[in-house]
Amino acid sequence: MIIGVPKEIKNHEYRVGMVPASVRELINHGHSVFVETNAGIGIGFTDQDYIEAGAGILATAEEVFAQAEMIVKVKEPQAVERAMLREGQILFTYLHLAPDLPQTQDLVKSKAVCIAYETVTDNNGGLPLLAPMSEVAGRMSIQAGAQALEKSNAGRGMLLGGVPGVEPAKVVIIGGGMVGANAAKMAVGMGADVVILDRNVNVLRKLDDLFGNQVKAIYSTADALEKHVLDADLVIGGVLIPGAAAPKLVTKEHIKNMKPGAAIVDVAIDQGGCIETSTPTTHAEPTYIVDDVVHYCVANMPGAVPRTSTFALNNATLPYIIQLANKGYKQALNDNQHLLNGLNVINGQVTVKEVADNLGFDFIEPATALANA
């Protein structure tokens, strides 16, 4: 199979779909890989590094899309990239379709085979291709929140851990999954007063085992959420419903009644955000203010630490890339139910019910759509 790796073009996105070591693995399996020139420059890899791994270098994204049978990316394809997709071509990347009607419309129109990292599952009920970026984003959320709390950024002017004789900041984390646990790890390490809210008692037990009395693991009710959000200096939104738009748990009314200068980091913004006042921002302009509350809603947070992020992501995606390349998408998806769960769009049909329901498309079961392809 011919695999193409274009340069990412989203604002301040320096990650790359495949590192040279991953390219070498595909070459060893008998496949061809074409990489757009300078695609890896943001993480310190030159075209020569890719050439030494066996890749061919192409001058433009148009050439990569034209030659490749499978496109491997990091972020969702931008409009100019979606226009280059063709019928039957495999697209393997993060998509986050539920809140994104224009992208979904374009992918449906393209009739490409669109497999999303974030909906691939595993035997434990986890999301193995989302997990590494959730780990990165969770840890980064505390760094971002700490900066947002600085007075020069319109924050309350607080140090997360305080100092001897001065209380630390209160950090409230909504969602105790991969994002929440990693955010808590950083917040605890910085000496903050940490509360985690979740509706799954088993998750709360795990957090209690992990952190002991270093965090307060609270069952999330409307009352508990309101109480802790209004008392928070920093709120981290880490709620995920696989494939679906995030629920709006923190309302405009909550925001109005938060402390002036408090900060919010909405890690769920890729799926529409779990804060009612959240809208996507970029690394170039990461924050804005609503009712004196600083909002940080960057939709590609891990892009700020691209080397760490790319290696972590490639470690997870490479086995699936090899399966798709070795078997072709039909056999690979038929053989692996977890990879089939990653199928979002094929032959102009939407195969994720939450996406179809949220955006008004007809839904077709992935196995049925695959059989018809």
Sequential pLDDT tens for the chain (373 residues)? 999 999 999 988 999 999 999 999 999 999 999 999 999 999 999 999 999 999 999 999 999 999 999 999 999 999 999 999 999 999 999 999 999 999 999 999 999 999 999 999 999 889 999 999 999 999 999 999 999 999 999 999 999 999 999 999 999 999 999 999 999 999 999 999 999 999 999 999 999 999 999 999 999 999 999 999 999 999 999 998 877 889 999 999 999 999 999 999 999 999 999 999 999 999 999 999 999 999 999 999 999 999 999 999 999 999 999 999 999 999 999 999 999 999 999 999 999 999 999 999 999 999 999 999 8
List residues forming the annotated binding site for NAD(+): 134, 198, 220, 239-240, 267-270, 298-301
Same structural domain, 269 and 216: yes
Q: Domain ends where: 263, 279, 304?
A: 304
> Is 233 among the residues known to form the active site?
no
Same structural domain, 161 and 267: yes
Distance of CA 263 to the CA centre of its chain: 21
Number of domains into which the chain is organized: 2
Let me know if residue 106 belongs to a domain: yes
CA atoms of 53 and 333, how far apart (whole Å): 28
Q: Phi/psi at 71 (nearest 5 deg)? A: -100, 125
Same structural domain, 298 and 321: no
Instruction: Note the pLDDT of residue 244.
Output: 84
Instruction: Note the pLDDT of residue 242.
Output: 79
Let me know if residue 120 belongs to a domain: no
CA atoms of 372 and 289, how far apart (whole Å): 49
Instruction: Note the pLDDT of residue 241.
Output: 83
- Burial degree of 166 (CB within 10 A; 0-12, 13-18, 19+): exposed
Catalytic residue among 96, 228, 254, 295: 96
Catalytic residue among 100, 233, 266, 270: 270
Ramachandran class of 305: left when φ > 0, alpha when ψ lies in -120 to 50, beta otherwise = beta
Same structural domain, 219 and 74: no
Task: Provide the whole-model pTM.
Answer: 0.88
Q: Domain range spanning residue 276?
A: 130-304
Instruction: Note the pLDDT of residue 88.
Output: 97
Same structural domain, 6 and 62: yes
Let me know if residue 122 belongs to a domain: no
Residue with tokens 């509360």: 195
Nearest to 173 by CA among 202, 205, 141, 150: 141
Same structural domain, 38 and 168: no
Let me know if residue 119 belongs to a domain: no
197 close to 203: Cβ distance less than 8 angstroms: no
Q: What SS3 class is residue 286?
A: coil
What secondary structure does DSSP assign to 293-348, as a single string?
EEEE-BTTGGGGSHHHHHHHHHHHHHHHHHHHHHHHHHHHHHH-HHHHTTEEEETT
Ramachandran class of 81: left when φ > 0, alpha when ψ lies in -120 to 50, beta otherwise = alpha
Same structural domain, 137 and 283: yes
Same structural domain, 322 and 223: no
Instruction: Note the pLDDT of residue 11.
Output: 85
Same structural domain, 69 and 200: no
CATH code (residue 79): 3.40.50.720
Nearest to 324 by CA among 63, 110, 69, 125: 69
Q: What residues pair up with 34 in beta bridges, in sequence order?
A: 4, 56
Q: Which residues contact 139 (CB under 8 A, 6 or more apart)?
A: 182, 183, 185, 186
> Is 357 among the residues known to form the active site?
no
Q: Domain ends where: 250, 283, 304?
A: 304
List residues forming the annotated binding site: 15, 75, 134, 198, 220, 239-240, 267-270, 298-301
Count of alpha carbons within 13 angstroms of residue 247, beta-carbon side: 7
Instruction: Note the pLDDT of residue 289.
Output: 98
